Amino acid sequence: MPQDLKTIASFHAHVYYDQETRTEAELLRSWIGERFTVTLGRWHDVLVGPHERSMYQVAFAVEVFPKLVPWLMLNHGRLSVLVHPNTTEPLADHTAHALWIGAPLGIRGERLPETAEAELPLAPNTTPSLPA
Ligand code: ZN
C-alpha cells in the first residue's frame, strides 16, 4: 500500500555551502526570509548530524512546499539543497524520500534513526514582505 500524504508532518530544506559559496548561501537565505513564511535555522559551519557539508536548515509547513521548492529550483545557484519530508522515518526521509536541487551530496545514514516522532512545523521566524 502507498503511504498516505498525512504521514508528512512538515518539510526541511538543507542549504549546503562551503567557503567559496558561503556568500551565495547568505544571499539565498535573505531572499528566502523576505519571501516565505519559514523557520530559518542557525548556521552550521561545523558538520552536524548526517550532513557532509556546512549547511543551514529551512523548516516549513506542508502548504509552503508548492511555492518554496520550485522557487529554490530557480534560485539555488551553485548551492546544493536537500529537500526532505518529516515523517516517522528519519533515515528514509533523508535518503529514499528526499529530493536534491543542484548537485547531490552524501548523507551519513548511519547517523539517523530508522524511526522517530515526526517533526511538526516549527514556529516561523520570518516576516516575508516580497512576492515569490
Ligand atoms: Zn532535516
Domain boundaries, the chain: 13-111
Q: What is the Å distance from ligand 1's center to 58 Cα?
A: 8
The answer to whether 47 touches 112, Cβ cutoff 8 Å, is no
Q: What is the Å distance from ligand 1's center to 20 Cα?
A: 23
Maximal C-alpha separation, the chain: 45
Residue 13: burial class (beta carbons within 10 Å; 0-12, 13-18, 19+): buried
- The pLDDT value recorded for residue 98 is 97
> What are the backbone angles phi and psi of residue 71, rounded to the nearest 5°?
-65, -40
- The pLDDT value recorded for residue 40 is 98
Q: What is the Å distance from ligand 1's center to 1 Cα?
A: 26
- The pLDDT value recorded for residue 60 is 98
pTM beyond 0.85: yes
Q: What is the Å distance from ligand 1's center to 59 Cα?
A: 8
d(CA 36, CA 86): 19
Q: What is the Å distance from ligand 1's center to 110 Cα?
A: 15
Residue-wise pLDDT tens digits, 48-70: 889 889 999 999 999 999 999 99
Strand order in the sheet with 81-86: 39-40, 54-60, 10-17, 81-86, 99-101
Q: What is the Å distance from ligand 1's center to 38 Cα?
A: 13
- The pLDDT value recorded for residue 2 is 93
Q: What is the Å distance from ligand 1's center to 14 Cα?
A: 6
Task: For domain 13-111, say whether CATH 3.40.50.300 is its number.
Answer: no
Q: What is the mean pLDDT of the chain?
A: 96
Q: What is the Å distance from ligand 1's center to 90 Cα?
A: 8
Alpha helices (H) in 1-132, listed in sequence order? 22-35, 65-75, 90-94
Q: What is the Å distance from ligand 1's center to 84 Cα?
A: 7
Residue-wise pLDDT tens digits, 84-124: 999 999 999 999 999 999 999 999 989 999 999 999 989 99
Residue in the structure block whose three cell numbers are 516549513: 60
- The pLDDT value recorded for residue 4 is 96
Task: Tell me the C-alpha to C-alpha distance, in Å, between residue 14 and each of 1, 4, 40, 59, 108.
Answer: 29, 24, 10, 9, 14
Query: What is the mean predicted confidence (pLDDT) over 6-14?
Result: 97
